[in-house]
Amino acid sequence: MEDIVIYTDGACSGNPGPGGWGAVILVDAKEIQLSGGEKLTTNNRMELLAAISSLKIIATDDTLKNRPISVYIDSQYVKNGITSWITSWKKNGWRTAGKQPVKNQDLWMLLDELNNSLNVSWIWVKGHAGFKYNEMCDQLATKAASTYA
């Protein structure tokens, strides 16, 4: 069974400000481009929404949801959050190590549910380093953000 490959990115003009997210899903020789945004948001929320939106598509497709998924993401925040920090956050009642409420808890809960229901590997890639699909996601996110400016 061939892996599904997802690239994601988020963008924000001002932080907070108008934001956008972009994603590319590579599956069965198809390239599916997704994007969206919000008028007043943060870069981290857009990074999270890119991953959530992509994984939702896989999770709701019976022919895809049992396949391995590799998510390539340039956000250390999302990668570290979902692979490491989230365990402590949940154990501590959605509080950080500094006892503060976890920011973006609503989105983390959605991402956690999707991550646990699918076979996802999270791979960090350096942003703006010439990776074709990462650059494509950046363009999708930036374009989406501009529609909310």
Q: Is 138 a catalytic residue?
A: yes
The token duo for 83 is 């692979």
Which of the residues 22, 36, 38, 47 is marked catalytic?
A: 47
Judge whether 18 and 146 are in contact, CB under 8 Å.
Answer: yes
In this structure, what token pair is assigned to residue 96?
A: 């950080």
CA distance 118 to 31: 20
Q: Which of 2, 14, 113, 128 is catalytic?
A: 128
Q: Is 47 a catalytic residue?
A: yes
Does the active-site annotation cover 62? no
Active site annotation includes 10: yes
Catalytic residue among 19, 20, 36, 138: 138
Query: Measured between alpha carbons, how far is 104 from 124 in angstroms, rounded to an integer?
Result: 20
Which of 19, 20, 74, 81 is an active site residue?
74
- Is 81 considered catalytic here? no
How many residues can be counted in the chain?
149
Say which of 10, 20, 22, 81 is annotated catalytic: 10
Mark whether 3 is an active-site residue.
no
User: What is the Cα–Cα distance from 144 to 22, expressed in whole angstroms?
Assistant: 8
Question: Of 3, 9, 17, 127, which one is the catalytic site residue?
Answer: 9
- Catalytic site residues? 9-10, 47, 74, 128, 138
